[in-house]
């Protein structure tokens, strides 16, 4: 279907549907990269910025995926994603988001230089735990420009030096959206499927449901790795994703989510 024809259908659906069910069905109408571009656009338009949405998408996508998202963003909204992020955020959060958007972390070779990994771990320790105050740019540079396999080695070396995990150091040295962004990079590096399982779990845990998070993560991963995320979800929380959706949602919205997730009861 041509994209402009899909726009017409989306407008028709909006007039016929409502609420969370409408939001889910509209999300399914978008081609993958255009949907993520829309989520980023919606996170920045109007008053206030939904930093969590931007962090989630930029920290969890590959360089190729980010390039496709940037292209779709420019085509659909006539604007440059990097420039919009710069205009909508500031300080170290802006720097880490722009750095993530550039997608410098991909290295499919899997090669790790042990000497560089040790040096990076020492640099992180010197930039945080060893001094009064934090050299945020050192953390940002290493977390955003090194490959996942390299960072895993860095995290091991860091724990030996600091006697605490990189996560604990980030929590003690930073706060707010910058802390969330750094921790998200670490989580996605350690286990991407665990990260998405956690996002889905906390979208439904407790009073109320974070429907935007629930919809975005199920829709965006449905044709990529949702089965792996479902398996990880069950390992981590002792219950299936389907069972939690059944407990936490209702009506057509629930049925549509369950059709997307498939049976894992």
- Binding-site residues for Ca(2+), in ranges, read 204, 206, 208, 248
C-beta atoms surrounding 233 within 10 Å: 25
Q: Provide the annotated binding site.
A: 204, 206, 208, 248
Distance in angstroms (rounded) separating the CA atoms of residues 232 and 194: 6
Closest to 73 in 3D by CA, of 47, 106, 101:
101
Distance in angstroms (rounded) separating the CA atoms of residues 260 and 226: 9
CA angle 131/133/139 to nearest 5° reads 85
Distance in angstroms (rounded) separating the CA atoms of residues 264 and 240: 6
Tokens of 196: 């998405």
C-beta atoms surrounding 255 within 10 Å: 14
Unique residue bearing structure tokens 């069910």: 21
DSSP string, 114-166: HHHHHHHHHHHHHHTTTSSS--HHHHHHHHHHS-HHHHHHHHHHHHHHHSS-H
Distance in angstroms (rounded) separating the CA atoms of residues 49 and 59: 17
**Counting Cβ atoms within 10 Å, is residue 77 exposed (0-12), middle (13-18) or buried (19+)?**
middle
Distance in angstroms (rounded) separating the CA atoms of residues 33 and 218: 14
Secondary structure E strands in the chain: none
């Amino acid at each position: 279907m041509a994209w402009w024809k899909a726009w017409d259908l989306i407008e028709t659906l909006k007039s016929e549907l409502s609420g969370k069910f409408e939001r889910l069905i509209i999300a399914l109408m978008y081609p993958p990269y255009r949907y993520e571009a829309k989520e980023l656009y919606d996170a920045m338009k109007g008053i206030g910025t939904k930093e969590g949405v931007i962090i989630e998408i930029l920290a969890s996508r590959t360089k190729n995926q980010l390039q496709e998202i940037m292209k779709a963003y420019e085509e659909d909204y006539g604007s440059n994603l990097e420039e919009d992020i710069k205009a909508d955020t500031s300080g170290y959060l802006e720097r880490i988001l722009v750095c993530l958007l550039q997608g410098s972390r991909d290295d499919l070779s899997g090669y790790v230089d042990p000497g560089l990994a040790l040096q990076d771990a020492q640099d992180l320790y010197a930039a945080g735990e060893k001094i009064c105050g934090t050299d945020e740019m050192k953390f940002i540079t290493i977390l955003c420009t090194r490959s996942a396999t390299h960072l895993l080695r860095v995290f091991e070396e860091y724990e030996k030096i600091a006697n605490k995990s990189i996560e604990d150091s980030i929590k003690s040295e930073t706060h707010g959206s910058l802390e969330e962004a750094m921790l998200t990079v670490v989580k996605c590096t350690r286990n991407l499927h665990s990260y998405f399982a956690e996002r889905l779990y906390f979208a439904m845990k407790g009073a109320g449901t974070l429907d935007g998070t629930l919809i975005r993560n199920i829709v965006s991963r449905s044709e990529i790795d949702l089965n792996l995320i479902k398996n990880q979800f069950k390992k981590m929380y002792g219950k299936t994703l389907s069972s939690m959706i059944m407990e936490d949602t209702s009506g057509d919205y629930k049925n549509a989510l369950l059709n997307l997730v498939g049976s894992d009861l």
